Amino acid sequence: MIIVSGCLLGIPCKYDGGTNLSKDVKEYLTDKSYAMVCPETMGGLSAPRPPAEIVGDRVINNQNEDVTEAFRLGAEKAWRLACERAEEKGEDITLAILKARSPSCGSGRIYDGTFAGVVTDGDGIFAALLKEKGIKVITEDELEAYIEEETSND
């Protein structure tokens, strides 16, 4: 089973109330088992909501509100939901395809906390949790390379 960010499949859960629909991700998942999650809305945040970025060990939105607990709660809930889905199907979670640069879903590179569109090294709260659990995490930007690697290993 694959965990996927809901916004990549066209769910309007992005901070601005829109989506991050990726045709490539959608197509890749066509014949696969997946669990779609949005950690931020699962943590009780609305869509739309003020954009947030990671600052040190906290998550702060552009209204200067600390939303760390909602992010952590949502990440835990998203992980539990994915585990439940995998258990129901008798499958292991083999991969997560998450939205690049998000303070929840970003993997390897995230926005730097200045709200200036600058990225820096780091993981979003949910991506970090999945990595702690031993799950391989890629973003939509890495999917093509992942598929090529998958194909060459066949």
Contact 4, 33 (CB under 8 A): no
- Regarding 102 and contact with ligand SF4 (CB under 6 A), the answer is yes
If one asks whether residue 68 binds ligand SF4 (CB under 6 A), the answer comes out as: no
104 touching ligand SF4, by CB under 6 A:
yes
Decide if residue 39 touches ligand SF4 (CB under 6 A): yes
Considering only residues 1, 2, 3, 14, which one is a binding residue for ligand SF4 as defined by CB under 6 A? 14
Choice from 93, 99, 128, 139 touching ligand SF4 (CB under 6 A): 99
Tell me how far apart the alpha carbons of residues 22 and 138 are, in angstroms, rounded to a whole number.
14
Which residues, other chains included, contact 136 with Cβ-Cβ below 8 Å and sequence gap of 6+?
94, 95, 96
53 binds ligand SF4 (CB under 6 A): no
H or E element that contains 78: helix 68-89
Query: If phi over 0 gives left and psi between -120 and 50 gives alpha, with beta otherwise, what is residue 137?
Result: beta
Smallest separation, CB 134 to ligand SF4 (Å) = 20
- Please report whether residue 140 would count as binding ligand SF4 according to CB under 6 A: no
Taking the C-alpha atoms of residue 1 and residue 89, their distance in angstroms, rounded to an integer, is: 9
List contacts with ligand SF4 (CB under 6 A). 5-7, 13-14, 38-40, 99, 102, 104-105
